[in-house]
Structure 1
Amino acid sequence: MRTKIDIIWEELEKTELSPYPVLMRGYPGKVLAEVYIGLKVHDSQRCLAVHLDNASLSQVRSLGELEDIKFEVFLDTKNKSKVYLLILLLEPTLKEIFSTLCEDLIASISGIKDERRLVRGLVSRLEKWVSLFIKAKSPGLSQEAQLGLYGELYFLRKWLLQSNEREKCLKAWVGVEKAVRDFQFGDWALEVKASHGNNHQKIHISSERQLDTSNLRNLYLFHLSLDVRQESGETLNSIVDSIVEILTEDYVLWSLFQIKLVEAGYIAQHREQYTKKGYYTRNEAFYEVKDAFPRIEEKDLREGVGDVKYTIISSDCSFYSVDEVQVYQNIN
């Protein structure tokens, strides 16, 4: 599925013999600021253009340049106190992630009318995207990262299919933002753990806070035991595509999902790497973390101890097993 701005860029790229250095079209959505989809004609560079007062540019200059993105100022010939800030893509091979970046930037400022706040919002989001562009040029996800992402997507798909609040499902997926737990919304949280091979019963906990129930009404652990096979089973690409299919009729949710994928390190140009390895489900189970559930909490640690990693055995958690329907009732 192409984004709205992809379609506009493609149309602009077909324009012949333009007398203008930059072609621009208004963004086709509800945005309080003046935002345009643009193309720098001479270099055929895709860009996002924001109409600003001259005085607002100092905040943007503090950001500096990104490796694959350039900022330029294009004067408004009709109003000398105004300029267009151009956010230009320098590396054409990154156009898919640039589309996602632009959608994210627009979403982050869509409800802001005050220009100072708007520019601060742009700068803040661009600073976040520095690391995401670095990910885009990385070799791709490691084997363990692929397994972990598959587990999170497996739960996300299950939840989306039975929920009437799909936006909430996506917004609750905060593990991609380096949150303590994979899903959290309000006073509940859910951690997803995927395991495979000879260690399929072992659940690895990465910190003393991950299963800490402080300030939470409910904390659930979803354990997914998998078989990993070559050239067989559901691939990482396949589960991504299945969720895209669920969201395909809602452009806003589809766009939000694309942003979450990039945050998780799943980049479109790496898809070829994820075509051969597939997953089969051996077992899946939900547990409610409470009372004497086998875990270490922050309050259990002696002074000076931190960054605790430990393993629990899924069979020892059976007393805390909880029905899937009950979990959805509580988190919905």
Structure 2
Amino acid sequence: MDESDWRDIATAADPHADNVRRASSTHPLDFFRGRNHAGQYIFALAANDSCSELPKPPRLNGIDVSVERRSGDGARLVLTLEDRDQFDIFRALCGHLLDATADHPRGANGPGLRLVLRRLADWHNMLRRRREGLLTTEEIIGLVGELLFLRDEVMSRAGAADSIAAWRGAHRDEQDFAIGAWQIEVKTQLSTSDRRLLISSEAQLDTAGSRLLLCHQAVARAPAGGGTVSLNALIDGLNLAFAAAGPPVLEEFEAALEACRYVRREEYDEPEWLLTDRRLFEVRDDFPRLTPAVLPNGVHAVSYSILLSACESFAVDLDHTLGEVFS
């Protein structure tokens, strides 16, 4: 969709009605785009039933989100572009809502409207995090994973100063930890996610003369207690350990956190995370991966995913192998 999809629709003549057109003739839900009496662009979805106890509409900057109640159990959700400078965001949001509901049962507008409100809440949280500089959920999980590995596996085998020096992921090195001739890459994901390892570049699993280990971890959101920890609480505990080692060590840890864009915020007090799985693999021989040597000339900056099940033959004993790394 582009601006002409709205601009070519005439302003509504009736102040109590909108002038609309079907957003997509093939979409299973009845989305409409149009203009209201003030000439503002709108995007709407109406339902005749299944709209009781709808989630509260989020507040978006420059885009009004309202729910108009209709007779019986019906409702109409209307997005109104109030700030024309926000049109690119408005268009992207409308496209996202169409894509997110493309597989919805045809004509099920009530459940679809409820899903759209949840998607709008997600969009609101994404924009708020971007505006306020908050880490995304994916970034939080990644940081929690690296810090758990640092606390549980590295600090238990090396002094505080050596541990913080070994943590390279914060400084955007290709691998997260470097210990002598060994490199360790840590991949952390929700326990409910598909078991896939997301690799960010063709260099990330390139051994290049060193020995490379890949650690897969799974975490779950869980109620407080029983080994759970929030991002703030995890960092508080590490701060105490590094402070005990002296100001230079603590300053190096704080610099690493700054490089990760972490600033203590109350939003990071929740959720609490529970480590549910930690496994180690050695990247060698025909481990499933892409490296610079196997890419065609001119191809670079490749990201890809690996099925965890394809790595099973490369699994190694965690305690024994890390004992060798730190020997």
Q: TM-score, normalised by structure 2?
A: 0.55
What is the deviation of 1:229? 4.4
Q: Find the aligned partners of 1:178 and 1:160 in 2 and give their Cα distance.
A: 19
Find the partner of 1:163 among 142, 157, 160: 157
Q: Can you list the C-alpha shifts for 1:61-109, whole angstroms capped at 9, x where unaligned?
A: xxxxxxxxxxxxxxxxxxxxxxxxxxxxxxxxxxxxxxxxxxxxxxxxx
Instruction: Name the structure 1 match of 2:144.
Output: 150
The answer to whether structure 1 residue 242 and structure 2 residue 233 are counterparts is no
Q: For residue 221 of structure 1, what is the amino acid of its counterpart?
A: L
Find the partner of 1:255 among 251, 254, 276: 251
Q: TM-score, normalised by structure 1?
A: 0.54
What is the deviation of 1:230? 7.1
What is the deviation of 1:214? 1.2
The answer to whether structure 1 residue 300 and structure 2 residue 290 are counterparts is no
The answer to whether structure 1 residue 228 and structure 2 residue 221 are counterparts is yes
Instruction: Name the structure 1 match of 2:209.
Output: 215
Contact 2:216–2:278 (CA under 8 A) maintained in structure 1: yes
Contact 2:161–2:245 (CA under 8 A) maintained in structure 1: no
What is the deviation of 1:231? 6.6
SS at match of 2:324: helix
Q: Find the aligned partners of 1:200 and 1:144 in 2 and give their Cα distance.
A: 14
Q: For residue 279 of structure 2, what is the amino acid of its counterpart?
A: A
Distance 1:299 1:211, change over 3 A: same
> Where do residues 265-280 of structure 1 align in structure 2 (5 Å cutoff)?
265-268=261-264, 271-280=265-274
Q: Can you list the C-alpha shifts for 1:186-219, whole angstroms capped at 9, x where unaligned?
A: 4221101001154241110111110111121x10
SS at match of 1:302: coil
What is the deviation of 1:296? 1.1
Find the partner of 1:182 among 176, 201, 220: 176
SS at match of 1:199: coil
What is the deviation of 1:138? 4.8
Q: Which has the greater radius of gyration?
A: 2
What is the deviation of 1:159? 2.8
Distance 1:201 1:237, change over 3 A: same
Q: For residue 245 of structure 1, what is the amino acid of its counterpart?
A: L
Which of structure 1's runs of 4+ aligned residues deviate more than 3 A? 229-233
SS at match of 1:207: coil
Q: For residue 140 of structure 2, what is the amino acid of its counterpart?
A: Q
Q: Find the aligned partners of 1:276 and 1:267 in 2 and give their Cα distance.
A: 15
What's the % identity of the aligned pairs? 29
What is the deviation of 1:158? 1.3
Would you say how many aligned residue pairs link Structure 1 and Structure 2?
195
Contact 1:200–1:226 (CA under 8 A) maintained in structure 2: no
What is the deviation of 1:315? 2.2
Q: For residue 278 of structure 1, what is the amino acid of its counterpart?
A: E
Instruction: Name the structure 2 match of 1:121.
Output: none
Q: For residue 181 of structure 1, what is the amino acid of its counterpart?
A: Q
Contact 1:176–1:263 (CA under 8 A) maintained in structure 2: yes
SS at match of 1:265: coil
Contact 1:235–1:274 (CA under 8 A) maintained in structure 2: yes
Contact 1:208–1:298 (CA under 8 A) maintained in structure 2: yes
Contact 1:183–1:189 (CA under 8 A) maintained in structure 2: yes
Instruction: Name the structure 2 match of 1:194.
Output: 188
Q: For residue 253 of structure 2, what is the amino acid of its counterpart?
A: F
Instruction: Name the structure 1 match of 2:308.
Output: 314
SS at match of 1:234: coil
**Structure with higher helix content:** 1
Q: Find the aligned partners of 1:323 and 1:183 in 2 and give their Cα distance.
A: 18
Q: For residue 261 of structure 1, what is the amino acid of its counterpart?
A: L
What is the deviation of 1:321? 1.1
What is the deviation of 1:173? 0.9
What is the deviation of 1:307? 1.2
Q: For residue 249 of structure 2, what is the amino acid of its counterpart?
A: L
What is the deviation of 1:185? 3.8
